[in-house]
Amino acid sequence: MSHLTVNRRGFLAGLGALGMTSALGACATSTTPAPAASGSGATSKALTLKSRETSDKSRKAMQALLDEFLKTNPQYKPSLNTMEAAAFQQQIRADLTLATPPDVLTWFAGEIASDFAGQGLLLDATSVFPTDGYSPQFAALSADASGKKIFIPTNYYWWGMFYRTSHFEKWGVSEPKTWDEFIALCKSLKGKGVSPLALPLADAAWLTASWFDYLNLRINGAAFHRALLAGQESYEDPRVAKVLDVWREALPYLDPAGKGLSFQEGSAKWQQGKDAIFLCGPFLADAMPAEVKADVNFFQFPIIDPAVPVAEEAPLDGFIASAHTANPDGALAFLKYAATPAAQELYLKISENTLIPANGQAKSPHPTPLLEKGRTMVAAAADVTQFFNRDSNDDQLNALTTALVRFIDKPGEAAGILKQWQSDSAKARGN
């Protein structure tokens, strides 16, 4: 498979050690009905939860949610159907259009959820969406175009410039705040014989999207970023050209071997200190030894224009329910439970994922300084975005990776690259 077309969601699904999802190809579909409650005096109604969380701990955590839900909702018979993430992704649209669909499904905030809602495929969850607990940013990401809540957020993670504390101390460098300080740091590291920036592309070209997202957010703001991804602005706009102009300043500091490195190889070089900084999520270090995890730190993507309100990437996961469910009362009851601090704490306690509960009243069951730093950064943001393909789709991501990998190779051809990017993006939308 070309490194330009690897699906980000499928790739993340392959990082089974993260506890987010299981290894690619390790399809583990199971249906585990919970025991029906006796003596409830109510007619039992089936409730199916379809999940893409296939790691052993995540699957156990999802079942624990159903078991706990059953205690206070004995009239329902919840069952868990777990499907490998890539297959889940391919099948979800068909699932939502079935005459007898899964009642509740795991999913994420972003453009695709809004698109499903626009097609009338999602149950209106406004009646069970909490009036407090969620930030205005998360509440907005949970609504469709009409303002109806169609998504229940349960957890999220953040993106940042990750480094190892001991390595920064050894090199005598510190966290930058501004883009100029960041470029100066890269220059200093290169002068010490250290490759400043990791960007492995062999199987993870989607990582280029994180650079584009942040540069565009820092230079042009979240409103323009969303409009661009929605096709309301053009990639040939001078504002996008400025994004590439600024990124060009950092290109000399990318690991020159990065294009031939897999994500695993790139993360290993970063762990060893052969690359200093990795723009990524905290899943970068999840599979690393405990002593390495304890040494991991990050800094916020540098500020470029102080006048632009600060936005952060915080991919937000949770649940949706089918508009065609045969058990809307049961689906809404489960969504209401999933929104509670207790449910989110229970899931993260058992799954042991490096994630933050989306309900601000919930406590992280496995708190670390790194996690709390991520929570604080996202909470302070003026706006929150997801990730390029969550805010658009995978076809748009392929157009981006084609453009940006070419730009890394030939930055002098920026105008032609942006023209082709606009054309590829329009074709992906069917325009």
Distances in Å between the Cα of 257 and the Cα atoms of 33, 171, 197, 202, 254 are 50, 22, 11, 10, 9
Tens-digit pLDDT profile for the chain (431 aa)?
333 334 555 556 545 434 443 322 223 333 333 333 333 345 679 999 999 999 999 999 999 999 999 999 999 999 999 999 889 988 999 999 999 999 999 999 988 888 899 999 999 999 999 999 999 999 999 999 999 999 999 999 999 999 999 999 999 999 999 999 999 999 999 999 999 999 999 999 999 999 999 999 999 999 999 999 999 999 999 999 999 999 999 999 999 999 999 999 999 999 999 999 999 999 998 888 989 999 999 999 999 999 999 999 999 999 999 999 999 999 999 999 999 999 999 999 999 888 999 999 999 999 999 999 999 999 999 999 999 989 988 889 999 999 999 999 999 999 999 999 999 999 988 86
**What letter would DSSP give residue 303?**
B
- pTM beyond 0.75, yes or no: yes
Question: What 3-state DSSP class applies to 251?
Answer: helix
Listed in sequence order, the residues at least 6 apart from 364 whose beta carbon sits closer than 8 Å to its beta carbon are 345, 348, 356, 357, 371, 372, 375
- pLDDT at position 9: 54
Name the residue among 342, 345, 361 with its Cα closest to residue 353. 345
77: Cα within 13 Å, side-chain hemisphere = 11
Predicted local distance difference test score (pLDDT) of residue 26: 27
Give residues with Cβ within 8 angstroms of 290, minimum separation 6.
none
What is the full DSSP assignment across 18-61?
A: GTSS--TT-----B-PPPPPSS--S--EEEEEEE---SHHHHHH
Q: Which of 173, 172, 134 is nearest to 152 (CA)?
A: 134
**Whether CATH 3.40.50.300 fits 160-313+393-429:** no
Q: Is 110 left (phi over 0), alpha (psi -120 to 50) or beta?
A: left
At 235, list the tokens: 């990639």
Q: How many residues does the chain have?
A: 431
Query: In the prediction, which pLDDT does 218 show?
Result: 98
The two three-digit tokens of residue 189, written as one number = 């590291």
Calculate helix-pair angle for 56-72, 341-351, nearest 10 degrees.
Answer: 150
Mapping DSSP to helix (H, G, I), strand (E, B) and coil, where does residue 15 land?
Answer: coil
pLDDT given for residue 394 in this prediction: 84
Angle at 283 between CA 275 and CA 14, to 5 degrees: 105
Q: What is the CATH number that goes with domain 8-157+315-385? A: 3.40.190.10
Q: What angle do CA 71, 72, 76 make, to 5 degrees?
A: 80
Give the pLDDT of residue 262.
96
d(CA 343, CA 350): 11
Residue 11's pLDDT is 53
Q: What pLDDT sits at residue 86?
A: 87
Please identify which residue in the block is written with the tokens 């990524």.
280
Residue ranges matching CATH 3.40.190.10 in the chain: 8-157+315-385, 160-313+393-429
